[in-house]
Amino acid sequence: MGYKTYTCPIARDCGGCEWLAVPYPIQLRRKQEQVGRLLAAMAEEDGAALEPIRGMDDPVRYRHKAATPFAHRAHGRVACGFYAASTHRIVPCRDCLVEDARARRILNAVARTAERLHIPPYDEDRGTGVLRHAVVRCGWKTDDVLLTLVSRVPELRDERRVTTELRAACPEVTSIVLNVNDRRTNAILGHRSRTLHGPGVMHDRLLGCTFEIGPTSFYQTNPAQTEVLYQLALDGAASAHRALDAYCGTGTIGICAAAASNELQVIGVEKGREAVACARRNAAANNVGDRCSFVAADATEWMARAGSDERPDVVIMDPPRAGSTPEFLAGVARLAPSRVVYVSCNVVTQARDLELLRAHGYRLARVAPVDMFPHTKHVECVATLERRLSPRYAASIATVPLSRT
């Protein structure tokens, strides 16, 4: 029996789904092999289970966040779509196979509105113009749709008319926000946002919990697989009484863990004050505010000064693609939790960090890959570790400097 394959008219020019022509079961096999090359040896040494990758039943329409840049075209037209690989050339897109069906139509409507109202698109080379990007987030379990317009200037000309026309063209949009990014940068979003229509946020649900999502909030793009990912993390935290949710963002993993266990107390640590404020609102909205506390701090520094009454028996960590740091991992070892749950979007840096945790007295107990981004080379992985040394000995070796490879 042949495998089902997927086609896209702009796949060659866009390049975003580099494995689109590869049958999905073969994609999953490749990702499983990638994780195996990096983690199988240490898993075998520790007697850990390296589990089969969790894939999607139908790997389309999974992205609930989409974005477009804008650029000048002849005769006042505004280009939008995707940047071709390694260029600032925009490839037009009417519909994207992997995005929520609403997303690309809304983004294209922004470009047509900019044309009608003569809002000049941003020029990457000159640093001039107004409209840089648009970002749309679509609810998975809700009908909320948040549209963020990214501008070089703090105000758009005739903002009321802009809002009116966008609402008429896209009645499904429930909030419109203006985000200001006046820096010469490749980053899409700036630090300042202002609501033009609606509440300025959207809401979605994961594992039965409701979450507020703002224009700059981190929220996983593929919520269906996020539930799979988070459930694996919750499995690693099962029977714990106190959890540290490091790199907690807006609190999604910790709040889901608290909602799943009435015995669990969660401390979430995150640098961003806006994210922490959002996490507190999310905890209250899910009736776990009495068992979840969130701190605006550097997680490594927080661990260094944590008192004995704050020591967790499980640490859940979900760092960025660059992974964690030797200092953070040494801090985890000093706290000596009985388990560490490491959620990663980059198995290369995860493998490096797992070696450090193993040197600090932990053993791998479970490795579970998850396919969050079908048709791409990216793979996520949840690794659960258990402490194999006494807390006193683990804390003593945590002070030994380790080189980072």
Catalytic residues: 345
- Is 368 exposed, middle or buried (CB count within 10 Å of its CB: 0-12, 13-18, 19+)? buried
Give the helix/strand (H/E) hosting 395. Answer: helix 391-397
**388, 362 Cβ separation under 8 angstroms:** yes
Q: How far is CA 156 from CA 130, 134, 153, 230, in A?
A: 8, 14, 7, 40
Quote the CA–CA distance of 257 and 222 in Å, as a whole number. Answer: 19
Quote the CA–CA distance of 119 and 126 in Å, as a whole number. Answer: 17
**319, 286 Cβ separation under 8 angstroms:** no
DSSP strands (E only) in 64-174:
65-72, 78-80, 82-83, 90-91, 131-138, 145-151
Give the helix/strand (H/E) hosting 41. Answer: helix 24-46
- Angle, in degrees to the nearest 10, between helices 273-285 and 252-260: 20
Kindly give the residue spans of alpha helices, DSSP state H, lying in 202-325. Answer: 223-236, 252-260, 273-285, 299-305
Handedness of CA 21, 26, 28, 29 (dihedral sign): negative
Pairing of strands 314-317, 242-246: parallel
Cβ neighbors of 164 (< 8 A, separation 6 or more) are none
Quote the CA–CA distance of 227 and 223 in Å, as a whole number. Answer: 6
- Angle, in degrees to the nearest 10, between helices 24-46 and 347-359: 10
